[in-house]
């Protein structure tokens, strides 16, 4: 079941986030960076976001019989060249145990529905250039790399990221 996240989901979201990063980014980001990721820090960030009634950002969770196994966030694009009609998906992660089961596809599809419901007509997301599995996932969902490349600073280790877009 895909549903809006609640503040009490913050810990579970943080656990999925850290586990997913360690699984998906091993070999793409420095091991020492991944090993230092903190569930407690991520929980604090998630809780603050989920408790902020003025936030423009939404969070959905994939709930499997009371257990959060994935989450996504969505809201207005932060890209300098975006219009007000452009939304963004800055995060979509699933527990490594459910990768390949369809949970991610369902969560991503509902995130697109939420972007449309928020009035966006276009959307973007950023993905590590070397993350072949994620890029294939987005392409199967109909998103395309628009040719834009940037660098994101991950603990002093710049890695290229590419922007994927779609019309909603």
Residues 6+ apart with CB under 8 A from 50: 5, 6, 7, 9, 10, 59
Residue-range domain boundaries for the chain: 2-121
Name the pLDDT band for 54 (thresholds 50, 70, 90).
confident
Torsional sign, CA 50, 12, 34, 135? negative
pLDDT of the residue at 155:
58
- Cα 140 from Cα 144, distance rounded (Å): 9
- pTM score: 0.94
Q: Is the pLDDT of residue 107 over 90?
A: yes
- Cα 160 from Cα 105, distance rounded (Å): 25
State the CATH class of domain 2-121: alpha beta
């Amino acid at each position: 079941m895909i549903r809006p996240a609640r503040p009490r989901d913050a810990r579970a979201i943080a656990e999925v986030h850290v586990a997913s990063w360690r699984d998906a980014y091993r070999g793409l980001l420095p091991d020492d960076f991944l090993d230092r990721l903190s569930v407690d820090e991520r929980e604090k960030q998630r809780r603050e976001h989920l408790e902020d009634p003025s936030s423009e950002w939404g969070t959905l969770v994939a709930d499997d019989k009371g257990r959060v196994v994935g989450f996504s966030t969505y809201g207005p694009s932060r890209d300098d060249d975006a219009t007000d009609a452009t939304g963004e998906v800055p995060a979509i992660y699933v527990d490594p145990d459910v990768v390949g089961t369809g949970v991610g596809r369902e969560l991503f599809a509902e995130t697109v529905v939420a972007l449309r419901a928020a009035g966006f007509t276009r959307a973007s997301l950023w993905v590590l250039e070397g993350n072949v599995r994620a890029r294939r996932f987005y392409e199967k969902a109909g998103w395309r790399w628009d040719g834009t490349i940037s660098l994101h600073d991950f603990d002093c280790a710049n890695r290229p990221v590419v922007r994927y877009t779609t019309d909603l």
